Chain A
């Protein structure tokens, strides 16, 4: 199995383990995915599998996508296509089903998603700066304060933490433990939080 799968975040809940300890888990609906394209050393210069997630009829795909799918002999269209690096991509069959069964309880996973957008955020929210006093005549409530010295260097250093757009970026959370796998519902329960909103698209890979 390729060690990767595409999924959708369902949400978070808590679960009791066998000792009765509460474990926070994220429920992910992962797969079934289908192999669409095999990329090999010979043809592409590297080995990878392109997987399709969530079927949709071919007629609903736009023409470039339809052409791509038909070229590789895919019978149905997909909402999402994502690529996973694997060794031995040759050994997979086009259309082969990839499910959560490849993961076992206790495995470690890296989960990639797009974080929730926070818009234009100040330094307090974005970089956890302290805020100034709210009273006693203070006028610097949530201001960033000094952003550097004056005549020398006469400029602001690159990388200085300032207000700006926050969130809506690709985030990887590493080393999440698999708490439960349910192939019958295509569900994956991992310990801890993953980036993005509910129903957000996630890429799940074996850690390491």
Chain B
């Protein structure tokens, strides 16, 4: 088991910022279309982070033209160019699935008040 963890460590990324559920993020994803490679952005609220070594994932939810869209990213995927934290949210749950039942004003998340750095 120890060695399995060690082996997985090599594949894991340490360069991503420490974001949490409730944060609004912009995920830059590398997309290969035939020959060409481009960066696509996906902006939304992190509603879940799941652990597990190389298998760790996070889910980002956004509402696009009135339709809720959720996208699941492998946290350690090399296809993730970078993750930009746009704002920190103050939430009390670690899984924000309740946002799915809400829309408009009710689906807002309060911004976290951070001590002045």
Contacts and interface: CB of A to CB of B under 8 A. Distances in A.
A198 B4 CA distance: 11
A8 to B, nearest CB: 11
A119 B3 CA distance: 30
Interface stretch (B38-46, B59-67, B73-81, B102-110): B73-81
A22 B74 contact: yes
B7 to A, nearest CB: 6
B93 interface: no
A79 interface: no
Given A16-B54, A20-B79, A10 B4 contact: yes
A15 interface: yes
A164 B21 CA distance: 48
A10 B55 CA distance: 17
Given A13-B53, A13-B54, A20 B4 contact: no
Contact of B7 (A16, A187, A198): A187
A128 B54 CA distance: 32
B1 to A, nearest CB: 6
A130 interface: no
Contacts of B53: 13
Give chain A's interface secondary structure class: strand
Interface string A166-193: 0000000000000000000101000000
A15 B54 contact: yes
A189 to B, nearest CB: 8
B13 to A, nearest CB: 10
Contacts of B94: none
B116 interface: no
Nearest to B55: A14
B3 A16 contact: no
A195 B116 CA distance: 56
A197 interface: no
Contact of A15 (B11, B32, B79): B11
B30 A13 contact: no
Given A14-B55, A198-B1, A20 B30 contact: yes
Interface string A18-44: 011010000101000000000000000
What 5 pairs across the A-B complex have the smallest Cβ distances?
A20-B79, A11-B4, A20-B78, A14-B54, A13-B8
Given A13-B53, A16-B77, A22-B77, 4 more contacts: A13-B54, A16-B78, A27-B7, A198-B1
